[in-house]
Amino acid sequence: MRYSCLHSLFLGLAFCASICPSIGAEQAAGDPTEYTWKPMADWYRPDLRITKLTARTVEHSELRLESGDDPRWSSPDWDDSDWVVIERNRVPLNEGVFWLRLRVRTTGPDEQVPSLINIGGGISAWDCYWDGVLISSSGTPGNSRQTEIGGMSSARVELSPEMAEAGQHVVAIRLSTFRSARAGARFAQLSFYTLPLEKFRALDMKLNLLPAMGVGAMLTIGVAVFLMWLLADRRLILALLAALCLGSALLITVVTVPIMWAYPVSWMPFQIVARISLIVIVSSLLLAAAVVHLYPSWWRSLLVVPLIVQTAIASYCLPLGINVLSPVLWRVAFISALLFVGWAVWRRREGSRLILVGIVATCGLFEWDPKHFEHSNFVFAFLPTLVGLISAIGLRLRSERLHARDTKLMAARLEIELLKKSLQPHFLMNTLTALSQVIEEKPAAAVRLIDDLAVGFRSLARFSGEKQVSIGEELALCRAHLGVMSARTDLNWSLEAEGIDASASVPPALFLTLIENGFSHQRPRKDATTFTLRAERTSDGVRYIFLSPGTITEDTARVSGGTGLRYVCARLEESFHDAWKLTQGAVAGGWETVIELREAARSGART
C-alpha cells in the first residue's frame, strides 16, 4: 500500500514536470512579441496600384508606436513588446518626437527583400533606420512646431544587396507630425513600401505618361479654341470651352505634381486648396458651357450660380478630406449637367443629344475609377464630354453659316426687288410727269427735284455693293427720296433725326425701306408729313425708334411683312447676326418701328 502511494506520487511529479514546458510554450505563443504578418498590400487600401507590384511572399508586420525619444529604439534587438499597435493611417498629429517600428520579411526560400524603399504619406519630418542603420532623413523632428523643420513629402531609398538579404528586418522611424496635417484630417498616415525597382520604374513611367498626355491635349485644345474666340468669333461658348480646357490642364498638373516629384510638406495645404479650387472651377465651367450652348437666351449672370453652389459644397465638405470631397464635387456637377442637358434633349435643342452622350460616357468612366479620374484617367474619361461639346458647337456654326449664306442671298434678291421697284416704269412715269409740271411752274424746284433724283439713284447704285453705310449717308438718301415724293404729292415731306451718331453704321437703305413702307401702307395727312428717327442709348447698345406718319390702312400683311420688311430683317441678320431685335406696331399718329442693336455687334460690323 505504501509502495503504491509513493509510486503514484512520483508519477504525478513526473507528469507535472513533463507538461510545464508545453505550458511555457503556450504562454510564449500568446506573448505580444509575436507579430502579425501580412503581405504588404493587405496593410493598405485595396485600390492602390503601387502595393500590387510587390509579391505576396514579402510580408510586413503591424505598426508599433512609442512616445518619447531614445536612440536605442533604432536597434533591431530592442524589445518593443509593450509598444502600442496602431493602424498605418492613424499616426498621431501634432505630437512631439515619437518612434514607430515594424518588421519586414520574405517567406520564399532565399528570397531577398525588394530593394526600393518608398517612404511617404505626408509625415513632415523623420529619420528612418533599417536594421539600426540610418537610410533616410527628411527635415528635423522636433517637440514643437517651432523646433520641427519640415522635410519633403516622400523619399525613395535603394537598399544595398547586403541590406536586402533574405530574412527578417527591423524598420524604426523617428518622427514628429506638427506640419503633417491635411485639410480636415485628424491623423497622419505612414506609407512604407518595399518595391521591386524595375516594376516600380515601369509603373512610374506609365503613371507619368498619361497625365503628360492629358496636359498636352487639354492645352492644345484650349489654346486652339481661345485663338478661335480671339480672332474669329467672340461668342461666349468658345471662351468658356477654352477656359474649361485650360483649367483641366492646370488641374491635371496640380494633381500629378505630388506623384511625380517630392515637394516640401509645407506646400501640401496649398496643393490641396489648389486642387479643390480647380475642381470647382472646371466642374462649374462644364455646367456653364452646356447651359450657354443649349440655352442661349438665359441671363448670363446665372452662370455664376454653379460656381457659387460648388464653392458652398466644397466649404461644407472640407472636413471630410480631399478623397471624399473630390467625388462629391464631380457628382454634383455631372448630375446637374445631366438634368440641364436632358431637359434640352426633351425640348429637342440642336446638339443636345451629342452633349448628353458625352457626359453620360464621362460619368460612367468616372464611376469606374473615381480615385484616378483627375490623374491618369482624365484625358480618356473627359474626352467624350469634350467631343460632345465641340461637335455641338460645330453643328451650330455650320447651321449659322448656312443661315448666313441664305440670308445674304435673300438680301441680294430683295435688294434687286427694291431697285426694280425704284426704277419701275410707273414710278419713273409719275416722277417725270411731276418734273415736267414743276419745270413749267417752279424752275428752281425742278432743279432741286433733279438733284434729289440724281442723289437717290447715285446712292442706290453705290449702296448695292455695300454691307454697311454710315447713318449720315443713309439719311441723305432718305431726304433725297422725300424731296422727290414732295414734288409728286404736293406735300412737304421731311425727316427729323434726334440723337443720331452720323458715323454709326447700318445696312444700306434700311430707313429708306421703312419710309417706302409708310407710303405704301399709310394714307398721308396734310398735317402730318414729318418722319422722325430717334436714337437712344441702352445698357449694351443703341435703340432706333422710327415713326412713319399717316393714317393706318387695314393691311394685315404689314405686320407679317412684305418685301420691304423681309429686306430689313435680312440685312440686319446679315450684319448683326443674333444681336438685333425689331418690333413694330401702330401708335398715335402713325406706325412705329423699333430696332435694337447691341454695341458689340455694331463694333464688329464696323470692323
Distance CA 125, CA 128 (A): 10
Distance CA 476, CA 459 (A): 9
In tens, the pLDDT along 201-239 reads 888 777 778 888 888 888 999 999 999 888 888 888 888
In tens, the pLDDT along 348-373 reads 888 889 999 999 999 998 888 887 78
SS3 114: coil
**pLDDT above 80 (res 554):** no
**pLDDT above 60 (res 25):** no
* C-alpha grid cell, residue 505: 453704321
**pLDDT above 90 (res 62):** yes
Give the number of other Cβ atoms within 10 Å of residue 97's Cβ: 20
* C-alpha grid cell, residue 521: 401702307
**pLDDT above 80 (res 560):** no
3-state SS, one letter per residue, for 289-309: HHHHHHCCCCCHHHHHHHHHH
Query: Which residue is associated with the grid cell 498638373?
Result: 253
pLDDT: which is higher, 510 or 31: 510
Query: Which residue is associated with the grid cell 445631366?
Result: 338
Distance CA 569, CA 576 (A): 10
DSSP string, 399-428: HHHHHHHHHHHHHHHHHHHHHHHHT-HHHH
* C-alpha grid cell, residue 185: 484630417
pLDDT: which is higher, 90 or 262: 90
DSSP at 296: T
**Cβ(494)–Cβ(482) below 8 Å:** yes
Distance CA 333, CA 286 (A): 8
In single-letter form, the type of residue at position 53 comes to: L
CA-based torsion, 314, 317, 322, 325: positive or negative: negative
Beta bridge partners of residue 105, listed in sequence order:
59, 168
**Cβ(126)–Cβ(151) below 8 Å:** yes
Distance CA 427, CA 404 (A): 33
Instruction: Give the end-to-end CA distance of the chain in Å, rounded to a whole number.
Output: 131
In tens, the pLDDT along 447-472 reads 666 666 666 666 666 666 677 888 98
Q: What is the pLDDT of residue 78?
A: 93
**Cβ(278)–Cβ(251) below 8 Å:** yes
Average pLDDT over residues 296-325: 71
Using CB atoms within 10 Å of the CB of residue 30, give its burial: 0 to 12 exposed, 13 to 18 middle, 19+ buried.
exposed
Beta bridge partners of residue 174, listed in sequence order:
99, 127
Query: What's the pLDDT band for 543 if we cut at 50, 70, 90?
Result: very high
Q: What is the pLDDT of residue 459?
A: 64
DSSP at 550: S
Identify the helix (H) or strand (E) that includes residue 551: strand 551-552
β pairing state of 541-549 and 133-138:
unpaired
CA-based torsion, 118, 121, 126, 132: positive or negative: negative
Mean pLDDT of the chain, nearest integer:
79
Query: What's the pLDDT band for 517 if we cut at 50, 70, 90?
Result: confident
Report the percentage of the chain scoring pLDDT > 70: 77
In single-letter form, the type of residue at position 285 comes to: L
Distance CA 340, CA 356 (A): 9
Go through 385-409 and write b for each residue having 16 or more CB atoms within 10 A of its CB, e for each that does not. Answer: bbbbbbbbbeebbeeeeeeeeebee
Report the percentage of the chain scoring pLDDT > 90: 21
**Nearest alpha-carbon partner for 73 in 134, 30, 28:** 134
